[in-house]
Structure formats: C-alpha cells, structure tokens
Amino acid sequence: MFLPTTKQEIDSLGWDRPDIVLVTGDSYIDSPFVGISVIGKMLAKAGFRVGVIAQPDIHSPADITRLGEPRLFWGVTGGCIDSMIANYTSLKKKRKSDDYTPGCQNTRRPDRASIVYTNLIRQHFKKTVPIVLGGLEASLRRVAHYDYWDDRVRGSILFDAKADYLLYGMAEKAAVELAVALDRDSDPRRVRGLCYISVEADMPLVRENYLELPPLDVVEKDKTAFTDMFHAFYRNNDPITAKGLYQKHGNRYLVQNPPQPSMTQAELDSVFAVGYERTQHPYYERQGKVKALETIKFSILSHRGCYGECNFCAIAVHEGRTVQWRSEESILAEARELTKYPDFTGYIRDVGGPTANMYGFECDRKLKKGVCVAKRCLFPNVCPTLKPDHSKQIELLKKLRKVPGMKKVFVASGIRYDAVLADNQYGEPYLEEVVRHHVSGQMKVAPEHSEPSVLKTMGKPGTESLLNFKASFDRISKAAGKAQFLTYYLIAAHPGCTAADMGKLQQFTAKNLRISPEQVQIFLPAPSTYSSLMYYTGIDPFIGKSLFVEKVLPKKEFQKRIVTGNTNPRR
C-alpha cells in the first residue's frame, strides 16, 4: 500500500489530516531502497498517519498545501542523494538527468533542497508544527562542514534551514521515538540520533555530559581547528562509544545526541517486512517514469553499513561503520515475494549493500566494545580481528538461486577483493560461487588508483591484492567457460593526486589490467568526509603534512583524460 500523497487519498482513508507529512526531493517511489518510504512505513506501522509530498513546486502553494498541516511534524529530506551532488558534477556543471525525477529530466529538485522545502513550508504555514530534517543531505551537513560549491565552511544545515530538529543516520527508530514524544507532548530532545538547537540557559546539563566542538566562527577561519573538529566528529559516530556533541553557532548551540544503537537483526528484518509496492506512486508516474526503478525494483538489500571507511565515501558517517545484516529467512521471503510481480522476468538485479561481500560477519570486538579509534578494519591491511567469513553469503546465494521462478541472481554491488583474499577458508569458494552463478558478464571492483601515495590518502589497499584477485577471477572464469571481465572504478584528482600519478595509473591499467579505462570519475568532495577535509585544508589530517590538491577545474578534467586516453585539448 502506498502512503497517501493526494487529498482524495486522505479523504478515502477517513483522515481529517495526517499526523506527519514527509516532503522529499525525489519522486515518491515506494521501495526499501528509498529512505522516505522506509521512514514513512515504519511510522505508519507504529500507528501514525503519514502522507508524502514529493518534489513540490517551490513557486506555488499548490503542492505543499494539498495535504494540509500535519498534527505532529513535517519531515523534510533532499532525497536519496545530497541535492548539490544530485544537481552538479564534480566540475560544477549542471547535471541534465536525474534518476529519481519523472522523465529523468533534472528540473524538479532545487539546490539545497532541505533548506528550500523548509522555507516553503514556513511561507505557507505560519507558526507551524516542528519541521524535522532527515536523509543523507541533513545527515552529512549536521555539523559545521566544508561545502564544495560555496568553497567554504558552512554551519549546520539545521540553522540554515531554520528547522526544529534533525535526525541523522538510518533514522527508523529515531523517527518513531520522536513521533511518540511529540504525540505525548513530551520533550523529544533526549532521542538518540537527534540534533537540536539550544540556547545558553539550557546548556549546563549538556556541557556536563557532551563533548564540545570548536565553534563555527573559529572553524570558518582556522583550518587546524576545523581539522580537530572533524576528527572529534568522526570519532563520535559509533553507537557504543560516541559522546554527544555540541557546537556554538553565534549565540546559540547545535546539540547532537549520541547515535541510535545499531538495529538488532529482528529489527532490521522488520524494516523489510512492512510491504512495499516497489514502484512509483501513480500520481507521480503519470508525470513520467524514473530511471532508478530499473535498478532497484528487483534488487535486494542484504545489509547496511560499511567497515571499509574509504576517505572519500560518506557511508561510514551516514550508515555507520558497523555492518548489520538481515536474516536469511527475511531475504528469501523477499525474493519469493518478488517472483509474484507480473513484470518479474526471473532476474534479481543485485543482492548486496554498500559493498556486496560484507554480509554475515563483523568484528566481535567492535560489536562488544565499539569501533577502534586508532585503526581501521581494512586499511592499510585487513585487521586480523575482523576475520572475514563468506560462508553465510555463499549459503544465501545458493538458496536464492533455488527459489522457484528465479532464473538468475546477480551480485552487482562492488566487491572488496582484499576481504575475499583475507578469508582463507571461504574466500575462494565465495569467488567460485559468484563467478559461476552470479555475474552478468562483468564484476565491479573499485581499486580507485594504483599509486601508493594516492591510495594512502584514499584509505584504499595496494595493487597487490587487486592483481591477485584478478588472477583468481580470470582463472575461475576460464575454468567455467565464461567470457567475463572485471570493471574497475577509478578516481582522478583526489587530494594527493597529480597529473604524473594519473600517467602512472594509465600505464598500470594498460600493462597489468590490459584495459583502457572508461569508469573514471573526477573526485567530488562530499560533505563530512576525510577526503573533503583534505581538499579544503590541503593537509593530510592523519600525519599533519601538506599535500597537493588539484583545484583548477580544467586540470581536474585533464587528469581524467590522461587515463581515458584523450589528452587532446578540447576545441
């Protein structure tokens, strides 16, 4: 069942008005891959009346007012992607297409969508109920952060949007707790995973229990203070060890409560058991289809979180550094449900998560005591305490392909080859299983670069593990009689990367991988990542030494063209 998005649907349900209205920068796709749908369904499961307004016209009151004012709160998100990343390339050119907009034309999502939608609500509903920010855009911008498009440090989006609360991370539990608190007319400011604005008079208790970050007016001007702030922010994201944080913004304070505890497997299973239509709401489908459904409609999320912690990636800050996985029974039930859809042709496009092969194992120490501060799970080498074990995923994949009506189950998410090689018992059998039964001609891996100095700034493993993995992949593919190949994702112009480094990468790919790369992206500094910190400061924050950062847009593009083989100047 869809959540209502029109007045007619509200009336047909017999509601006088919704308890909660969720506003999103995406079209309304009812899918477990779409945050607004997940949050909405979990709130509805908890007994709340939830409506959705997708991509409202910001020049008219018609869309934002059509469901009326909610009883408890407005929930606002920029969508599945930060709106600035959705709207602009790494060269700051406007993107023409948008996979989450009807007709795929990038015409419906405003820049800084969370701020714009909050202002739109306040314009048409004076002194309204609380406005709550959520989703990736809010999560990555919840404290002072470097913004690539303004090329400066911006304050918390909570202040810029003039919203009341912000829920960060995967906020299913926090959203329900907030709704319950508001419904009972109690103070929601103790909800974990929530940020709010405080004044001096309310700060004594916060100061006693929370960690202070350097104030906004300091980190705006002092790159060393900004680096110290980011370290403290990043290290306080684990639900077991994190302290609450606060940061002065002018004469007020941002307060960030500690994160929500990781979901139990039963709780995570429940998120996927509420039932999803796995398509666009008909009201929006009439405006045009969305390209995202081609990928997500018949795909299955098996887990969330990532212990890879690549410096350029925001997953660790948003989904967390602890991997949580669904039960085998939950995933198989979803697969059986997918076979009932009239347009299902027997093919699951993907089974995985942020990284495919992080299903079913985690570091026991991390689960009990929290993440390590001084070291990472996979960098510079796979930590022996992690003990990768692919046995559960092997069994899952075998059972999935035996589901009646299933022709093929693909593993299309990227694979961490270093984790496969570190699993001495099940790594090779896992690769055999995937190569023989779950590859659609190509397997995605993301070495990103070849040069040790650049890989170090990225937080990525060296090329030895890549080449060993390639040899195993080629050997197994040949033995299986399959003409399959690896697809390599590479990054140009990352902090620490020079044109000479890209020349060496081109030589490496030609000699060792025997390809002319096509999947090369120019580094884009996402908010609240270590790589964006390096880009802004020009300093390696782990050793305190300066590093080269390419900031001239044509030279960034030139770095990419060195690898793709087109270094001729554009006419």
Contacts of 282 (CB under 8 A, 6+ apart): 2
User: Is 91 strand, coil or helix?
Assistant: coil
User: Maximum CA pair distance of the chain?
Assistant: 72
Kindly provide the b/e burial profile for residues 89-111, where b requires at least 16 CB atoms within 10 angstroms of the residue's own CB.
ebeeeeeeebbbbbebebebbbe
Cβ(339)–Cβ(404) below 8 Å = yes
CA 40/CA 26 separation, integer angstroms: 14
Token pair for residue 470? 């390639």
Q: Kindly calculate the radius of gyration of the chain based on its CA atoms and give it in whole angstroms.
A: 23
253 three-state secondary structure: strand
Angle formed by the axes of helices 265-272 and 35-45, to 10°?
A: 100
Residue 265's contacts (CB-CB under 8 Å, 6 or more residues apart) are 324, 325, 326, 327
Dig out the tokens for 270 from the structure: 């429940």
The answer on whether 306 is annotated among ligand-binding residues is yes
- Which candidate, 460, 448, 533, places its Cα nearest to that of 495? 533
Contact in structure between 70 and 536 (CB atoms under 8 Å): no
Q: Is the peptide bond before 380 cis (omega within 30 degrees of 0)?
A: yes
Q: What is the DSSP letter of 479?
A: H
What type of residue is 514? R
Q: Three-state DSSP class for 378?
A: coil
What is the β-pairing status of strands 303-304 and 324-325?
antiparallel
Rounded to 10 deg, the angle between the 530-537 and 223-235 helix axes is 180
Please work out, in degrees rounded to the nearest 5, the angle formed at the alpha carbon of residue 459 by the alpha carbons of 455 and 463.
40
For residue 399, the number of C-alpha atoms closer than 13 Å in the C-beta half-sphere is 16
Rounded Cα distance between 495 and 455, Å, is 10
State how far the Cα of 201 lies from the Cα of 186, in Å rounded to an integer: 19
Neighbours of 16 (CB within 10 A): 9
Rounded to whole angstroms, how far apart are CA atoms 129 and 115? 17
List binding-site positions for [4Fe-4S] cluster: 306, 310, 313
Binding site listing: 306, 310, 313
